[in-house]
């Protein structure tokens, strides 16, 4: 650290490692070791129904629910003449290419070539790239890594509750995945970017936390855990107490934002679509009660961190229309940056950094500790994966954690706060104010 308190820590080479996620890249190899959310289950509801194109981790894929109810994820292009399987037929527990009739099962085996009557006698049969899937939390997850290293299915808290307790959206964000993740673990921006939104948004307003979060005199810290990091912000609540907000980062790309009052806890996943775009997942989950009709309506309307989307899952307010920026509203202090809703404010700032943020030109400061720690942990995990070592964030114990918000006496340091409040506990409410 120099006298100014500024850090220049990340090189162009390190930025390449952190941001490139296609097949064969170090970060791509790391992310593929985890179950990744692909689509909502209700996007492909019917056995034998329509297949969907899916761009994931720089790969062009097809996803479909076969006639037996299983979900398949295959290469989008037939290995014969590379015609697109989006135009194929979902039939009899497999997908058949419409061009020459080659048929594939969900494990990538070619099981029928009508033009080759002796196909059954071939010693070596063609295959298509295929990835396994599981369904949990109303989400279809896929594993894209080495078959022999497939982990157990995900057990984040939203995977453990019933459907009435959760609401999930995914959207196409137009910048590198890491910009999104960094925004998700950055507590410093909240009292600025979301300054006027927390008091009016229907998924935040009326809570003690929303009132206290507006304070800008804040102590920030981050505490390493085996699975990732606790991201901590502390403000004065009154003369005797501190208001603590404790978020979670779970390697490699999952976060849980600190909650507000009795509203749903907000979990997130930041999944590369390619190197210049990503899928932003928001999963609102309440572990002890069903979401109300009013809450669901607000989420569907794009409130909180959710956003109104078009048919392609792109935000209606986007970089092409400057996110419907309202300069008069900005001057009148209806909105801090001229953009309305928490989700769009985050999106505008992250996309404004460019398609791939050039971290070698940053001037990081002390309050960026969570960002610095996260990048170092990711680089370390990349190295561990390349050495064949065990990785964090893969076990049920790693995933069964919560965020929290609370007021505690000023003489109680973070290390003495109850760690139970950060554990998933069935039937126990989230610690929140």
- The domain 162-422 is placed in CATH, from the list 3.10.20.30, 3.90.380.10, 3.40.50.300, 3.20.20.80, at 3.90.380.10
- Note the pTM of the prediction, 2 decimals: 0.95
Nearest to 234 by CA among 209, 256, 254, 253: 209
d(CA 420, CA 281): 26
- 35-149 CATH, one of 3.10.20.30, 3.90.180.10, 2.102.10.10, 1.10.490.10: 2.102.10.10
Output phi, psi for 67, to 5 deg.
Answer: -65, -20
Mean pLDDT by groups of 10 residues along the chain of 433 residues: 57 96 98 98 95 98 97 98 96 96 97 93 93 98 96 98 98 98 95 92 94 90 96 93 97 98 97 98 98 97 96 96 97 94 97 96 92 96 98 97 97 94 96 97
pLDDT for 3: 36
Residues in contact with 261: Cβ distance below 8 Å, sequence separation at least 6, in sequence order: 206, 207, 208, 209, 210, 432, 433
Find where tokens 């790309």 sit: 253
Predicted pLDDT of residue 1: 38
393-428 per-residue burial string, b: 16 or more CB within 10 A, e: under 16: bbeeebbbbbbbbbbbeeeeeeeebeeebbebeeee
Per domain, the residue ranges of the chain are 35-149, 162-422
């Amino acid at each position: 650290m120099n006298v100014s308190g500024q850090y220049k820590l990340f090189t162009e080479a390190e930025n390449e490692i952190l941001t490139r996620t296609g097949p064969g890249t170090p970060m791509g190899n790391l992310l593929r070791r985890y179950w990744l959310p692909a689509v909502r289950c209700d996007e492909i509801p019917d056995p034998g129904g329509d297949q969907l194109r899916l761009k994931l981790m720089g790969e062009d894929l097809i996803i479909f629910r076969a006639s037996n109810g299983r979900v398949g994820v295959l290469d989008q292009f037939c290995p014969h003449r590379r015609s697109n399987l989006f135009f194929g037929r979902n039939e009899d527990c497999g997908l058949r290419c419409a061009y020459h009739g080659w048929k594939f099962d969900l494990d990538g085996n070619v099981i029928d070539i009508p033009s080759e009557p002796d196909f059954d006698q071939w010693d070596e049969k063609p295959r298509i790239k295929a990835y396994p899937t599981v369904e949990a939390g109303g989400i279809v997850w896929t594993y894209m890594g080495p078959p022999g290293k497939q982990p157990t299915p995900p057990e984040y808290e939203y995977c453990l509750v019933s459907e009435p307790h959760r609401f999930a959206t995914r959207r196409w964000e137009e910048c590198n995945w890491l910009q999104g993740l960094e925004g998700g673990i950055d507590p410093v921006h909240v009292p600025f970017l979301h300054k006027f939104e927390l008091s009016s948004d229907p998924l935040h307003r009326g809570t003690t936390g929303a009132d206290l979060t507006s304070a800008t005199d804040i102590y920030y810290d981050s505490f390493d855990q085996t699975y990732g990091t606790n991201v901590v912000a502390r403000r004065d609540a009154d003369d005797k107490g501190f208001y603590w907000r404790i978020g979670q980062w779970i390697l490699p790309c999952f976060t849980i934002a600190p909650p507000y009052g009795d509203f749903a806890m907000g979990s997130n996943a930041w999944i590369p679509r390619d190197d210049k775009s990503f899928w932003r997942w928001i999963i609102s989950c309440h572990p002890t009660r069903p979401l109300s009709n009013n809450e669901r309506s607000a989420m569907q309307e794009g409130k909180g961190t959710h956003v109104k989307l078009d048919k392609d899952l792109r935000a209606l307010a986007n970089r092409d229309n400057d996110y419907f920026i309202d300069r008069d509203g900005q001057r009148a202090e209806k909105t801090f940056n001229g953009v309305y809703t928490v989700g769009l404010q985050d999106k505008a700032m992250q996309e404004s950094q460019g398609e791939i943020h050039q971290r070698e030109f940053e001037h990081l400061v002390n309050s960026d500790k969570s960002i610095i720690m996260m990048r170092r942990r990711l680089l370390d995990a990349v190295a561990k994966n390349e050495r064949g070592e065990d990785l964090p964030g893969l076990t049920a114990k790693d995933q069964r954690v919560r965020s929290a918000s609370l007021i505690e006496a000023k003489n109680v340091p973070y290390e003495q706060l109850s760690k139970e409040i950060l554990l998933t506990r069935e039937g126990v409410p989230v610690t929140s104010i």
